Amino acid sequence: MDKNGDAIKEFGNTYVNNMKENESIQVLSIIGQIEGHMNLSPQTKSTKYEHVIPSLISMEQNPEVQGILIVLNTIGGDIEAGLAISEMIYSLSKPTVSLVVGGGHSIGVPLATAADYSFISPSATMILHPIRMNGLVIGVPQTFEYFNKMQERINDFIVRTSNIDKEALRKLLLQTDELLNDMGTILIGEQAVTMGLIDEVGGVKDALKKLKELINEDKP
């Protein structure tokens, strides 16, 4: 298998070099569950943050990379890992466009809004809900304060990188009539755009077209 083939197999990433001469787009796919410090089972489709972070640094340093397309279909996962990847995407100097296909749930929301411009396919969903923890939770005020601060970090990032305001986001997180046995909201396609989370409804063609525009605007 060649180098590109190895990259596709291991990371789900490859170059798209069929635009203009000396122009290159890097595709970063974020799929399945975001894996953090703990390894998920081999049967779980996951995106490993220890793969994504060095990939993003490589894209930033590579002069051949002119723009980055981030394709998301994720159910969420590790909060710290997802937020770290989101901040990395937001801090890139290269133009970035995200495309949510299937779903951008939980920590997948800030991953989608981190790009310079975001798209969602008409049938894709985004699920917003308060943070949840599995396993033993110590019921003391410090635990509540920790959860509250972590939720604020996520909310602040989403507000900073999208067009939704903080109060509207809070209401979506605290809805009690949409998710079974949980609080939160499901937004489908156009609804995510109407609420200001995502910039536009579209697909691969639209995302690549927008990325080309951003690349041309970024050129001196």
The helix-helix angle for 141-161 and 166-173 (nearest 10°) equals 130
Contact 127, 103 (CB under 8 A): yes
> Residue 185 to residues 3, 46, 78, 171: CA-CA distances in angstroms?
42, 24, 20, 9
Residue type, 196: G
Residue 37 annotated to the active site: no
Residue type, 83: L
- What's the rounded Cα separation, in Å, for the pair 37 and 39? 7
What values do phi and psi take at 131, rounded to 5? -65, 150
The beta strands (E) that lie in the chain are given as: 14-16, 25-35, 46-48, 67-77, 96-104, 117-120, 125-128, 185-188, 200-201
Residue 51 annotated to the active site: no
Residue 17 has, within 13 A of its CA and on its CB side, a CA count of 7
- Catalytic one among 86, 98, 106, 118? 106
- Catalytic one among 24, 46, 98, 129? 129
> Residue 24 to residues 115, 128, 216: CA-CA distances in angstroms?
17, 34, 12
Residues noted as catalytic: 106, 129
